[in-house]
Amino acid sequence: MKDIATVSRTKEVLDKYGFTFKKSLGQNFLIDVNVIHSVLDKAGITDRTGVIEVGPGIGSLTEQLAKRARKVVAFEIDQRLIPVLNDTLSAYDNIDLINEDILKADIRTVIQEKFQDVDDIVVVANLPYYITTPILMNFLMQDLPINRYYVMMQKEVGDRISAGPNTKAYGSLSIAIDYYTHAKTVQQVPKTVFMPAPNVDSIIVELIKRETPVVSIDNEEQFFKLTRGAFQQRRKTILNNYMLVFEDGKKKKQEISEMLQSAGIDPKRRGESLTTGEFAEIYNKSKEYKGLKII
């Protein structure tokens, strides 16, 4: 039988089930098996690999994963797709489908139950634009035993994830990803390989989990609030932005300025010029100023 990731087979499956795309779920199905093979080659999927997939759709990527991996666990939020997937993937006994929102799922327990006999665990997914960031941060902030991520996403988000300081795409997302992983773009993906075709091209980003976070801080949630605050208004200096980040910041402008200088940061710099390490310096120094509270 033809691979699912072809135009003819995809149309056949959609017609068989009378499936209509939900724009709210960002559903765009892959119809180019060569792109999928390229991703799996880069991800190093072998018969000793456990794979977590998010949003399998009708199984285009899932099918190819199952041919290579020891075990595939696919989370699909759309109940309408479960009978479709049970049909299209019926030839494979190494796939578990979970009809659940990945943001609400107990991923750690799933890993403990499903991946007992694998050498490593990888996330491979074609992520919908509207929820790419929450999904990635949900995985990363839980400190799960996942070594690598190969995620397809719309180019704008991918550029932000892998961006460095002093670039237009650099922001708080870049810092959060850098905190947990080594990130890089590994492949461009044209919009023509999806059905329906999205409005923009996509890219595949590789995330390799760091053994320990790139900087040492005592509260990740507060640290990320601090980094997000630096980009509230990109054209403003870090001092002006931080007057909105710290409680009663306008009244404590001088104290914030002194804190930044003691951290080795010129208050006139903009957030986009600071590295993850420099943000950590600011965060750790702010802890010494009892009058400064991040809100």
Q: Which residues are annotated as a binding site for S-adenosyl-L-methionine?
A: 28, 30, 55, 76, 101, 126
Phi, psi of 77 (to 5 degrees): -80, -25
Handedness of CA 96, 131, 151, 220 (dihedral sign): negative
Interatomic CA distance for residues 83 and 58, integer angstroms? 10
Residues making up the annotated binding site are: 28, 30, 55, 76, 101, 126
Contact 70, 60 (CB under 8 A): no
Which tokens go with 88? 């299209």
Length of the chain: 295
